[in-house]
A and B are shown apart, each in its own frame.
Chain A
Amino acid sequence: MLSMKKLILILLFTSCACAPTIKPSSMAYITNQGDNTVSVIDIQQNKVIDTIKVGKAPVGVAISSKLKRVFISNVESNNISVIDTANNKVIESIALQGSPVGLAMAPDHNTLYVADWFSDRIIAINTADYSQRREVMVAKAPAGLVVSADSNTLYVAARDSNEVAVVDTKSFAVIKRIAVGAHPFGLSLSNDGSYLYVVNVYDNTVSVINTRTLAQSKIKMGEHPYCAVASADNKTLYVTNTQDDTVSVIDLASQQTVALIDVGMTPEGISYDVANKFVLAASWGENKVSVIDARTNNLKGHISTGDKSRAFGQFILSEQ
């Protein structure tokens, strides 16, 4: 017969062996256009842990890990919902005279940039005082936004002008305009800021732009590509093809497609989870998020979210 001491030891050992290894947590904030909510996915747990009611037809997401805030653009209710990531509650709503779509957080966490789709302008909101704002007219139908690592440069995809407007964030003026393909929507920037990736929806291409020389090349994508994200090591680009229901995996050194992954119908927003090396793509057509293992480029599975998931922007909060 086992002694009590031995039994306890065995139990302890078994429970330790079964306990999951502790990894830094990553949360994905997915906007659901159709039911006016945000699904919060715990990526390690592979499930939705919270569903948050926001404004009407939410689309864009921007996250500040430092401020513990998630910003959601509600294009049909003309406002931005501010979520506290400590409890996943909406703590404030920022009213705007306009229709916010694209959002981006400056890496210094001081400024939230908002693309106002109908008014062709960008609104910069001070994250310390939301009433402090600046505006700049850019070009027609501003959509995707991305900010350089030093927070000095904002890139704006102007969908109906077929260009990227480059905004100096200090003077808040357009300092350059880069002609790209037809209907640029999503943007991504390499971690070192040297390359900008622009998704040209109507051309079925991605423009790769050297941000210093402005030299540009184009890579062929699937049908109606929408959004892109570069891997943390800058070696790979992932692009959603909305009308092929796939994600293109591009080797950036050779600019070749190395994999084409079947995902949920009409994939839109896409983000890279640094902690787990996963890529998540929101499926607007099937109300779920497709999870890709970036180490193998295999589809890991799907997580059901809300109605018409979009998740436009960098939507993953990783514990630093």
Chain B
Amino acid sequence: MNKFLAMLALAILPNLALVPLVFAHGPTPQKVEKSIVIKAAPAKVWAMVKDFGNLHAWHPAIASTKLEKKGDETHRTLTLKSGGEIHEKLRSADDKDMKLKYEITGGVAPVADYNSVMTVAAGPGAGESTVTWVGRFYRTYKLNPPIPAGQDDETAFNFITGVYDSGLANLKKVLENSK
């Protein structure tokens, strides 16, 4: 986990000077898709996944989560353990399909136009759940190549991969250890 936090800090550092998320982006979207099997009932897993104001309860990189209502919209501000904030907006939380959709609206994540879906499905075994986390996003650099370090596809991809890998591993740990 410490290794991940160090990597997270490294990924974010070169971007601290950047204005939060710009609208324009590169021409090639990136994708990270990760899944994990958790020995816990789908309803229990979904209850934790859909709890938009409590990401710090299971994500090891998050120090605190602040939930805010803006009219009809639900937003959260994530404060990272490595410093800095990420601002996110809830798109939908569908209990029937156990599907959560959200987007990043600003902050230090080195990505642009990020949107994501987390789903919980029953199986593969009895009493087990599979959590899948998929993100689509672009690098932050929006002008002609050459692309500066820290604003390229690789930085964006590695950052999100780190967020998903460490998050899912700890989500499993938290759920399997709680009775």
Q: Which residue of B lies closest to A34 (CB)?
A: B31
Cβ-neighbour of A117 out of B23, B27, B29, B31 (below 8 A): B27
Cβ-neighbour of A223 out of B28, B29, B91, B136 (below 8 A): B91
A290 close to B (CB within 8 Å): no
Contact with B along A177-197 (1 / 0, CB 8 A): 000000100000000000000
B144 close to A (CB within 8 Å): yes
- Using C-beta atoms within 8 Å of the partner chain, give the interface range for chain B: 10 to 19
B17 close to A (CB within 8 Å): no
Collect the chain A residues with CB atoms within 8 Å of residue B136's CB.
266, 284-285
Q: Which residue of B lies closest to A118 (CB)?
A: B144
A75-B28 in contact given A119-B144, A243-B101, A285-B136 (Cβ < 8 Å): yes
Collect the chain A residues with CB atoms within 8 Å of residue B91's CB.
223, 243
Which residues between 77 and 111 of chain A lie within 8 Å of chain B, taking CB atoms?
Answer: 99, 101
Q: Is the CB of B134 within 8 A of A118?
A: no
Task: Give Cα A266 to B117, complex, Å.
Answer: 11
Cβ-neighbour of A243 out of B24, B31, B115 (below 8 A): B115
Task: Give Cα A119 to B145, complex, Å.
Answer: 11
**Chain B: minimal CB distance from A306 (Å):** 13
Q: Is the CB of B28 within 8 A of A59?
A: yes
Cβ-neighbour of B31 out of A141, A202, A308 (below 8 A): A308
**Chain A: minimal CB distance from B22 (Å):** 10
Contact with A along B137-154 (1 / 0, CB 8 A): 000000111000000000
Collect the chain A residues with CB atoms within 8 Å of residue B117's CB.
265
A59-B27 in contact given A118-B143, A119-B144, A285-B134 (Cβ < 8 Å): yes
Task: Give Cα A308 to B31, complex, Å.
Answer: 8
A101-B134 in contact given A118-B143, A243-B101, A243-B115 (Cβ < 8 Å): no
- 20 contacts across the A-B interface (CB closer than 8 A): A33-B28, A57-B28, A59-B27, A99-B144, A99-B145, A118-B27, A118-B143, A140-B24, A159-B24, A160-B24, A202-B23, A243-B91, A243-B101, A265-B117, A265-B134, A284-B29, A284-B31, A284-B136, A285-B31, A285-B136
Contact surface of A with B, Cβ cutoff 8 Å: 33-34, 57, 59, 75-76, 99, 101, 117-119, 140-141, 159-160, 183, 202, 223-224, 243, 265-266, 284-285, 308
**Contacts A101-B27, A117-B27, A265-B134 supplied; 15 other A-B pairs, CB < 8 Å:** A33-B28, A57-B28, A75-B27, A76-B28, A99-B144, A99-B145, A140-B24, A159-B24, A160-B24, A224-B115, A265-B117, A266-B136, A285-B134, A285-B136, A308-B29
